[in-house]
Amino acid sequence: MASSRPGFFISVEGIDGSGKSTQTRLLAERLLQEGASVRTVHDPGSTALGERIRGLLLDRSAGTPPAPFTEVSLFLAARVQLLNEVIEPALEQGEVIVCDRYIDSTLVYQGAGRGLDLEGLLELHRLLGADRMPDLTLILDLEVEAARLRADATLPLDRMEAEPTAYHERVRQGYLALASRFPERVVVLSAKPPPKDLAAACWRVTSDRMAARRAT
């Protein structure tokens, strides 16, 4: 029996330099080739309010960095707007959403990275109505030093990218822990292969999960 649930929600996650933005784009292109109605978004952002918040969060010249809960509050404000303005309406129309970062980024960057409580962060999302989980989350895993070697040295680092190596290692380990916590939706893929090969792996997982959804 075909599923009556509309749309399909995919998030792509990973530390900075893992290739997630490239893979988000390539996955969306493949879905379009396969005839799906696709919408690509990024979190924070993809709304007028979200883009303004994104600028506040990533700007290194904005003076004293925000406190961890201030940072969470800003990310959540952008996420609630993205959900209500873009994601939920698109899913109701049967579209496939491919999201560059989503809730798991907060769970690892502010949770594992900043030391905030994971259960508390999940509960905060629930209280604000931002607990819609993706149907599939692809985590692109790469060692921190390898990811940093991929960075374009001519471009300035944003505030999150400029955090020390130890912070990014906590974030990476946080991602791997989420795969154990949410095995029904999270799939970890090595980000070491060339982009074309990694894109093929992302597509294999996605097509299998979408076929399983249609069969339920």
Let me know if residue 2 belongs to a domain. Answer: no
Domain boundaries, position 150: 8-215
pLDDT for the residue 3: 42
What is the percentage of the chain residues whose pLDDT exceeds 90? 84
CA dist 23 → 96, 171, 189, 199 (Å): 15, 19, 11, 6
pLDDT at 44 over 90: yes
- pTM, 2 dp: 0.94
pLDDT at 214: 85
Are 78 and 43 a contacting pair, CB within 8 Å? Answer: yes
In this predicted structure, what is the pLDDT of residue 5?
Answer: 66
CB of 150 closer than 8 Å to CB of 22: no
**Quick one: which of 161, 150, 152 has its CA closest to 59?**
161
Whether pLDDT at 134 is above 60: yes
Is residue 3 one of the residues assigned to a domain? no
Flag whether pLDDT at 156 surpasses 90: no
The answer to whether position 149 is within a domain reads yes
In the numeric block, which tokens belong to residue 162? 């400029």
Residue 2 has pLDDT above 50, yes or no: no
* pLDDT-derived band at 158, boundaries 50, 70, 90: confident
Per-residue pLDDT at 157? 82
CATH for 79: 3.40.50.300
C-alpha to C-alpha distance for 18 and 202, rounded to whole angstroms: 13
| pLDDT of res. 108 | 97
User: pLDDT tens digits, residue range 75-107?
Assistant: 999 999 999 999 999 999 999 999 999 999 999
pLDDT at residue number 129: 93
- Output the average pLDDT for the chain: 94
Q: Which helix (H) or strand (E) holds 22?
A: helix 20-33
* 169 phi/psi in degrees, rounded to 5: -70, -40
- CB distance 138 to 12 below 8 Å: yes
Alpha helices by DSSP H, 34-117: 48-58, 68-82, 88-92, 103-106
What pLDDT digit, counting tens, does each position of 173-196 carry? 999 999 999 999 999 999 999 999
Say what the pLDDT of residue 80 is.
98
Q: What is the mean pLDDT of residues 105-129?
A: 96
Q: Is residue 78 part of a domain?
A: yes
> Is residue 6 very low, low, confident or very high in pLDDT (cuts 50, 70, 90)?
confident
User: In this structure, is residue 168 part of a structural domain?
Assistant: yes
Q: How far apart are CA 124 and CA 80, in angstroms?
A: 12
Is residue 51 assigned to a domain? Answer: yes
Q: Per the domain annotation, does 179 fall within a domain?
A: yes
The total domain count for the chain is: 1
Q: Is pLDDT above 50 for 1?
A: no
Residue 152: pLDDT over 60: yes
